[in-house]
Amino acid sequence: MKTAVITGTSRRLGAYLAEKLSAEGYLVFGFTRQINPEQQYLTQLVVDYQSADSILSAVEQLKQQCSTIDLLIHNASLFEKDELHTEDTVAFYQALFAVHMQLPALLNQQLAPQIAKTPGGGLIVHVTDIYSENPNPAFSLYCSTKAGLENLMKSAAKAYAPHIRVNSIQPGPIMFLPEHSKSEKQQVMQQTLIAEEAGFEPIYQGVRFLVDNKFVTGLSLKIDGGRSLGK
């Protein structure tokens, strides 16, 4: 049985990927800040993303349950505007760094031996953002750490080749948040070549492409309906 490890599995994209991969036959482990009792299809490991000790403790639990890892997906994310944190900018920036950079870096380092043991080579996927290349000034702190995650992917692709392939997926407007207003949604759609809310399935399809194509590493795969090009 193949094994997948995904961060941020309690909701949205992480939950979707975990359920799809589980249905595909993967043994799925999820790194999450809180248990979701409805997710019986995966093993949930509770982690404080801002604590290196907590991350390393979860890693040891994981290693006790699996000797090889086929797929590691860095999905955990914190997405908030800068203006919401004018009173706690330093703490907010530290939280962004912990989730988008420290957590993936530690997991790559700690789990590389298990991923490299996978027959035919394992795969690491960094879920970044189209903003990592073309930042939104309203989310400048978020964008900068996602850019760091993108750069970390490229470094890891070089460091772990040829036994581990490392790529990134850069999502665009795949699924709006509940707090998005109708006007905000319309503005985004006006800037997107394929003007629709695609949902999470295209991201899963991107993961499947990266799993199946063994000659791809160091790739930044945009799945954004053409929004990065604009109109």
83: which DSSP letter? Answer: G
114: Cβ contacts below 8 Å, ≥ 6 apart: 63, 66, 67, 68, 69, 122
pTM: 0.95
Q: Where are the domains of the chain?
A: 3-223
Tens digits of pLDDT across the chain (231 residues):
999 999 999 999 999 999 999 999 999 999 999 999 999 999 999 999 999 999 999 999 999 999 999 999 999 999 999 999 999 999 999 999 999 999 999 999 999 999 999 988 899 999 999 999 999 999 999 999 999 999 999 999 999 999 999 999 999 887 777 767 777 778 878 888 988 888 999 999 999 999 999 999 999 999 998 988 876
Query: Tokens at residue 96, please?
Result: 């962004």
- Cα distance between residue 82 and residue 84, in whole Å: 5
98 within 8 A of 107, measured Cβ to Cβ: no
Domain 3-223 adopts which CATH fold?
Rossmann fold (3.40.50)
- Residue 173's alpha-carbon distances to 33, 75, 165, 185, 197, in angstroms, are 24, 16, 26, 9, 7
In the chain, how long is the greatest CA-to-CA distance?
50
Q: Angle CA(124)–CA(127)–CA(131) in degrees, nearest 5? A: 140
- Please report, for the chain, how many H helices and E strands are present, in that order: 7, 7
